[in-house]
Amino acid sequence: MVKELYIAGEWRLGRGHVIQSTFPADNSINAEISTASAEDIEEAIAKADQAWRAPEWRNRMPHERAKILYKVADIIEARVDELSQLQTRDNGKPLAETRGLVLSAAATARYVAAACETLNDELTSQRAPDFMTLSVHEPVGVVAAITPWNSPIASEVQKLAPALAGGNAVILKPAEATSLIALELAKIFEEAGLPKGLLSVLVGKGSVVGDAIVKHPLVRKISFTGGTTTGRHLAHIAADKLITTSLELGGKSPTIVLPDADIELAAKGIAYGIFSSAGQACIAGSRLFIHSSIYDQFLTRLVEITKGLRVGHPEQKDVHMGSLINQAHLQSVDRYVQLAKQEGGEVLTGGEALTTGEFAKGSFYLPTIITGLKNQAKVCQEEIFGPVLVVMKYDNEQDLIQQANDSCFGLAAGIWTESYRKAWRISRALEVGTVWINTYKKFSISAPFGGFKDSGIGREKGRLGILSYMQQKSIYMGLSDQPNAWCD
């Protein structure tokens, strides 16, 4: 049976063509899903605009909005096993990893609910005798939320929760390859009591459905997580419309090992930072810089750890890496590995797809380590979005920082050292939005997240994340009985 869309609070078939959701591990069909037509998009946005303006939502107290988000968090947690399984079927990540993403989504909804209850407007007057001023925040209106395929449930709740907490309506356009979890989230928000019209989930191609949504005159903010090329395209649309954006884009994150680093801690952390999620993460630590004094020792241990990683069916226990999202992406990753060889790189481990036995029908690629390249090589400058680590040597801190910053991206970085002074100094010098010291890929919903340079615009998460979905207004109240003086 073809899956229905959630259009302005109603479940019905989209009027676009039907697509198939497939399981990347064996290419079996998960479901057939209807997609949105131009008429569906128009209806969803028109009703969203009515819904956020309606007094029963616009005037609802923050704690009443928070109540819905608390319930969303409870439902997600109660269904963690089922949702983890669905997320794994969507994108091929191991169950242990998708379970973490599901619980992260629940924690996000709960945090935003709590933060929503603490938001206050301000009395901004400077004791003027004849007037007082106040600063208030209003919803922006209809928000277009466009999410990626690598961590859908976490990305989607990270946008939905603050946007709804701020009093907006949201049109969610999930990645075409991973639409199942978004449709399930619509059911959860519906069960939690979200009024009709405030959420629609419209499935379809980004170039068709996504473009039509963001170009609609009633859409007043674009929140996008995905590739830099698409992000730049959306930024142009937003500029033409004079609307705000939140763009969390690509990365080519440097990881740095100082001479005094704990080798075992750092090697295991670096392997996790690049090979978890099969490298399909914008924050993946894909460029590794090792000090020359420990280069050989460290690299030997890192290769040992990498060779010990278990690649397998994502529904099996104790699997470190599942499949890539599809064959087309696997081929893209492999092309970069072949390019690295052409550029003079040496593959120390990995460098090939798994194509026999249980892997024959899926999209599996071995964790790969490449040496012998300079930072100017294409595989060091372009985002591969796969389990490929390029390792380089450095001799001094000044050279290190120059190389680490020599990238159009600036999303994240990792530093491994026992010296907090060096860690602080280098972290401040790096042109990135997030720095991990002696850890990697750890997240807190309370910490703002976003990138420098081509890695994006704006910040998500944190208490102020709700305000990014609102606009500020100043109100002046006259206190004097005297009329305004004429300027003559």
Per-residue pLDDT tens for 420-430? 999 999 999 99
Q: Please report how many Cα atoms fall inside a 13 Å half-sphere around the Cα of residue 468, on the Cβ side.
A: 23
> For 353-404, how does the pLDDT look when each residue is reduced to its tens digit (9 = 90+)?
999 999 999 999 999 999 999 999 999 999 999 999 999 999 999 999 999 9
What does the DSSP assignment read for 128-191?
Answer: -SSEEEEEEEEE--EEEEE--SSSHHHHHHHHHHHHHHTT-EEEEE--GGG-HHHHHHHHHHHH
Q: Is the pLDDT of residue 118 over 80?
A: yes
Q: Is the pLDDT of residue 325 over 80?
A: yes
> For 142-195, how does the pLDDT look when each residue is reduced to its tens digit (9 = 90+)?
999 999 999 999 999 999 999 999 999 999 999 999 999 999 999 999 999 999
For residue 71, the SS3 value is: helix
Overall average pLDDT of the 347-356 stretch: 97
Q: CA-to-CA distance for 254 and 455, rounded, in angstroms?
A: 13
Q: Output the six-digit token pair for 155.
A: 């990305």
Q: CA-to-CA distance for 351 and 388, rounded, in angstroms?
A: 8
Residue 123, pLDDT score:
78
18 located within any domain: yes
Q: CA-to-CA distance for 470 and 141, rounded, in angstroms?
A: 8
Q: CA-to-CA distance for 153 and 285, rounded, in angstroms?
A: 22
Q: CA-to-CA distance for 119 and 89, rounded, in angstroms?
A: 38
Q: Is the pLDDT of residue 125 over 80?
A: no
389 located within any domain: yes
149 located within any domain: yes
Q: Output the six-digit token pair for 148.
A: 């990626």
Q: CA-to-CA distance for 65 and 114, rounded, in angstroms?
A: 10
**Strand-pair partners of 456:** 248
Torsion of CA 91, 97, 98, 99, to 10 degrees: 170
CATH number at residue 21: 3.40.605.10
**Residue 57 and residue 195 in one domain:** yes
**Residue 112 and residue 185 in one domain:** yes
Overall average pLDDT of the 263-285 stretch: 98
> For 6-25, how does the pLDDT look when each residue is reduced to its tens digit (9 = 90+)?
999 999 999 999 999 999 99
CATH number at residue 347: 3.40.309.10
User: What residue numbers bound the domain in which 306 lies?
Assistant: 253-437
**Residue 433 and residue 460 in one domain:** no
**Residue 85 and residue 138 in one domain:** yes
The closest alpha carbon to 210, from 239, 233, 180, belongs to 233
**Residue 419 and residue 461 in one domain:** no
445 located within any domain: no
For residue 475, the SS3 value is: strand
Residue 488, pLDDT score:
55
pLDDT category of residue 127 using cuts at 50, 70 and 90: confident
Q: Is the pLDDT of residue 200 over 60?
A: yes
**Residue 160 and residue 22 in one domain:** yes
**Residue 172 and residue 259 in one domain:** no
66 located within any domain: yes
**Residue 235 and residue 307 in one domain:** no
DSSP symbol at 277: G
Overall average pLDDT of the 455-464 stretch: 92
Rounded to the nearest 10 degrees, what angle do helices 95-118 and 80-91 cross at? 120
446 located within any domain: no
pLDDT category of residue 226 using cuts at 50, 70 and 90: very high
Cα 274 to its chain centre, rounded Å, is 16
**Residue 104 and residue 240 in one domain:** yes
**Residue 213 and residue 261 in one domain:** no
**Residue 184 and residue 268 in one domain:** no
Residue 390, pLDDT score:
98
DSSP symbol at 460: B
**Residue 227 and residue 280 in one domain:** no
Residue type for position 335: R
Q: CA-to-CA distance for 403 and 252, rounded, in angstroms?
A: 12
Contacts of 353 (CB under 8 A, 6+ apart): 330, 334, 359, 363, 364, 365, 366
pLDDT category of residue 119 using cuts at 50, 70 and 90: confident
Cite the active site residues. Answer: 248
481 located within any domain: no
pLDDT category of residue 483 using cuts at 50, 70 and 90: confident
Q: What percent of the chain has pLDDT over 90?
A: 93
> For 236-261, how does the pLDDT look when each residue is reduced to its tens digit (9 = 90+)?
999 999 999 999 999 999 999 999 99
442 located within any domain: no
43 to 15, 163, 223: CA distances (angstroms): 12, 20, 20
The rounded mean pLDDT for the chain is: 96
Is the model's pTM score more than 0.85?
yes
Find the DSSP H helices in 347-415. Answer: 378-381, 397-405
DSSP symbol at 468: G
Contacts of 457 (CB under 8 A, 6+ apart): 235, 245, 246, 247, 450
Overall average pLDDT of the 74-102 stretch: 97
The closest alpha carbon to 302, from 349, 258, 343, belongs to 349
Q: CA-to-CA distance for 469 and 246, rounded, in angstroms?
A: 9
Structurally, the chain folds into a number of domains equal to 2
Q: Is the CB of residue 144 less than 8 Å from the CB of residue 200?
A: no
